[in-house]
Amino acid sequence: MTDENHSTEEELIAQRREHLEKLREAGVAYRNDFKRDTLAADIHENHGNSSKEELEEQKVRVAVAGRMMSRRIMGKASFAHVKDMSGQIQIFVRKDDVGEDTYNDFKQFDLGDIIAIKGWVFITKTGELSIHVEELTILVKSLRPLPEKFHGLTDLETRYRQRYLDLMTNDDTRHVFSIRSKTINYIRSYLDGCGFVEVETPMMHPVPGGATARPFKTHHNALDMELYLRIAPELYLKRLVVGGVEKVYEINRSFRNEGLSPRHNPEFSMLEFYQAYADYHDLMDLTEDLLRKLVNHLFGDSKLTYQEQDYDLSKPFVRLTVFDSILEYNPDLTPDDINNLDSIRKTSDKLGVPYEDNFGLGKVQIEIFEKIVESKLQGPAFITAFPKEVSPLARSSDNDPFLTDRFELFIGGREIANGFSELNDPDDQAERFRKQVESKEAGDNEAMHYDADYITALEYGLPPTAGEGIGIDRLVMLLTDSPSIRDVILFPHMRAKE
RNA sequence: GGGCCGUUAGCUCAGUCGGUAGAGCAUCUGACUUUUAAUCAGGUGGUCGUAGGUUCGAUCCCUACACGGCCCA
């Protein structure tokens, strides 16, 4: 050892680099000649119920590798915990068993090192299933000190910027991303089971469409062409339905050039699916069934808790129109207060909901809905009958031309899904695009572009179809009781440091 | 974009009504052959986010900025 045994970060790293140098000299740094045959969780699963005596008798030998997370040296015998992707297992290292040289090597290991063990499974005096080590080696020297072993890493900024440290030390974080993976897998198998076909459509669009949002702009050099990162895959998926792919879905990223918040990341994951010869009622039924089965699949029952609020998905989801929901959550209002532009403007003023002069009745209704009703919708609740003015891609309602055959699903005051019977009348669609372009020219930079190529596709005939988008990130937030979208995205966007 | 809060050792956190900072873990030395937040004894480790200002003196008060969090638009 050096005489200078300090412990600034620099010096901690220097100490570890000295250990690495010794490994390099011995020709065993960064080796890759060890094959493990067992994961930590396998050991717990296979031997967790065995008795001490059974294990002594069987002498089950395992080869395990992982990161050393803790160590307790007691003279000539030591314990450590080794962590792999499945979990942790304790190892017991005794000088008499591994020999003096290996034991001394072991004492030079640092927390965070990636090590390999061969030994037999046993139970310690205090009853912990462990590996009695016979052979031991270091595979990778960790040069930087680990976060504290008991509290783990709690600093949010570091957890997001250096997610690997978060994953290394916080089991909760691993759990969240495991649920995320299982959720996406389950959705895929559910839709596959219903006969849907998974596709990948372009992420770079010459005309951004499928949602009202600001896009990211980029440039293709060879084509010398402006392109936009997609804000939604919708218009391409419907082109596929035109082409005869009658049940189609895509799960992937979309991008919106907007602010960051606990509910918004500039890139986010969506499921979109389209089913020909179905209407929005069919999709509400499908969504209810999918979510109920998903929660059962993940948790074994239909109940979940989000931010201390309980939800039971076994009960039928509420279904309520936008109009009725405004009245329900504003008991002082009468239908006449919100069913014409003059009265709803007065109502908005009274409620303190801002609107602009060019907003029609439908848009003002939605402003009130979003500001006042949404956050109160514990749900699960399908809100239906959205005004045409705010639904430029949805089919007009047969009963009321002011409305569309559209719904959104709310759980915990948050929009989880948005679906509708698709607008397949090309002339109506062209007219709606023109209205959007007018809004854009009037200064609404979220309004849609006119997509002539899409109109052409509709002119060939889109079958009667219903389609829906489900926000994967928000769904996973709900399923993992995560307050922020950053908790369910591995590498959330952050401002560059320095 | 606006408001509020935060930033102290590698990590988790105290603290200073303005007088140059502490603990636990990690690390180092020693003891210890079934520990488990191991234990016991003794050490090391800090530009108190950055830059200015006020002051005899600033980690603390003021201003600006950076990064993060929450709320609002």
Q: Whose structure tokens read 């509708």?
A: A420
Please give, one letter per residue, the 3-state secondary structure of A13-59.
HHHHHHHHHHHHHCCCCCCCCCCCCCCHHHHHHHHCCCCHHHHHHHC
What's the token pair of residue A107? 């004492």
With CA atoms as reference, report the closest residue to A258 among A270, A266, A250, A267: A266
CA→C1' distance for A264 and B25 (Å): 36
Burial of A143 by CB count in 10 Å (0-12 exposed, 13-18 middle, 19+ buried)? middle
Q: Is any atom of strand B within 7 angstroms of residue A94's beta carbon?
A: yes
Q: Is any atom of strand B within 7 angstroms of residue A273's beta carbon?
A: no
Q: Assign residue A195 a region: left if phi > 0, alpha if psi is -120 to 50, beta otherwise?
A: left
Exposure string (b/e) for A428-448, b if CB count within 10 Å is 16 or more?
ebbebbeebeebbeeeeeebb
Contacts of A363 (CB under 8 A, 6+ apart): A355, A387, A389, A390
Q: Assign residue A308 a region: left if phi > 0, alpha if psi is -120 to 50, beta otherwise?
A: left
Structural contact between residues A353 and A332, judged by C-beta atoms closer than 8 angstroms: no
What's the token pair of residue A478? 């709900």
Q: Which helix (H) or strand (E) holds A459?
A: helix A452-460
CA→C1' distance for A156 and B5 (Å): 15
Report the amino acid identity of residue A61: R
With CA atoms as reference, report the closest residue to A353 among A342, A366, A341, A335: A366
Nucleotide nearest to A161 (CA to C1'): B68
Q: Is any atom of strand B within 7 angstroms of residue A331's beta carbon?
A: no
Per-residue confidence (pLDDT) for residue A354, from 0 to 100: 87
Q: Whose structure tokens read 């082409």?
A: A243
Q: Is any atom of strand B within 7 angstroms of residue A157's beta carbon?
A: yes
Question: Quick one: which residue's CA is nearest to B44's C1'?
Answer: A6
Q: Is any atom of strand B within 7 angstroms of residue A225's beta carbon?
A: no
Q: Whose structure tokens read 């990211």?
A: A216
Burial of A477 by CB count in 10 Å (0-12 exposed, 13-18 middle, 19+ buried)? buried
- As a whole number of angstroms, the distance between CA A22 and CA A71 comes to 21
Nucleotide nearest to A160 (CA to C1'): B68
Per-residue confidence (pLDDT) for residue A359, from 0 to 100: 87
Nucleotide nearest to A483 (CA to C1'): B70
Q: What is the length of chain A?
A: 498
Report the amino acid identity of residue A116: A
How far, in whole angstroms, is CA A246 from its chain's centroid?
Answer: 27
Rounded to 5°, angle at Cα A385 from A381 and A391: 110
Q: Is any atom of strand B within 7 angstroms of residue A8's beta carbon?
A: yes
Question: Quick one: which residue's CA is nearest to B30's C1'?
Answer: A75
Per-residue confidence (pLDDT) for residue A4, from 0 to 100: 59
CA→C1' distance for A496 and B55 (Å): 36
CA→C1' distance for A497 and B66 (Å): 8
Establish whether the linkage from the previous residue to A380 is cis, with ω within 30° of 0: yes
Could you say which nucleotides of strand B lie within 7 A of any protein CB atom? Answer: 1, 9-13, 24-29, 31-39, 43-47, 66-73
Q: Which helix (H) or strand (E) holds A368?
A: helix A361-368
Q: Whose structure tokens read 């949002």?
A: A213
3-class SS of residue A424: coil
* β-sheet bridge partners, residue A318: A381
Nucleotide nearest to A126 (CA to C1'): B34
Question: Quick one: which residue's CA is nearest to B9's C1'?
Answer: A8
Per-residue confidence (pLDDT) for residue A498, from 0 to 100: 61
Structural contact between residues A236 and A438, judged by C-beta atoms closer than 8 angstroms: no
Strands A204-205 and A225-229, by their bridges, are antiparallel
CA→C1' distance for A396 and B55 (Å): 72
Q: Which helix (H) or strand (E) holds A118?
A: strand A114-123
* β-sheet bridge partners, residue A229: A204
Structural contact between residues A263 and A475, judged by C-beta atoms closer than 8 angstroms: no
Contacts of A21 (CB under 8 A, 6+ apart): none
Report the amino acid identity of residue A204: M
Q: Is any atom of strand B within 7 angstroms of residue A147's beta carbon?
A: yes
Q: Is any atom of strand B within 7 angstroms of residue A355's beta carbon?
A: no
Q: Is any atom of strand B within 7 angstroms of residue A495's beta carbon?
A: yes
Nucleotide nearest to A148 (CA to C1'): B11
CB atoms closer than 10 angstroms to residue A114: 19
Question: Quick one: which residue's CA is nearest to B49's C1'?
Answer: A498
Burial of A152 by CB count in 10 Å (0-12 exposed, 13-18 middle, 19+ buried)? middle
Residues of chain A with pLDDT under 50: 1-3
Structural contact between residues A423 and A395, judged by C-beta atoms closer than 8 angstroms: yes
- As a whole number of angstroms, the distance between CA A391 and CA A368 comes to 16
- As a whole number of angstroms, the distance between CA A253 and CA A232 comes to 8
- As a whole number of angstroms, the distance between CA A257 and CA A284 comes to 30
CA→C1' distance for A498 and B51 (Å): 14
Q: Assign residue A352 a region: left if phi > 0, alpha if psi is -120 to 50, beta otherwise?
A: left
Structural contact between residues A105 and A68, judged by C-beta atoms closer than 8 angstroms: no
Per-residue confidence (pLDDT) for residue A1, from 0 to 100: 37
- As a whole number of angstroms, the distance between CA A241 and CA A421 comes to 13
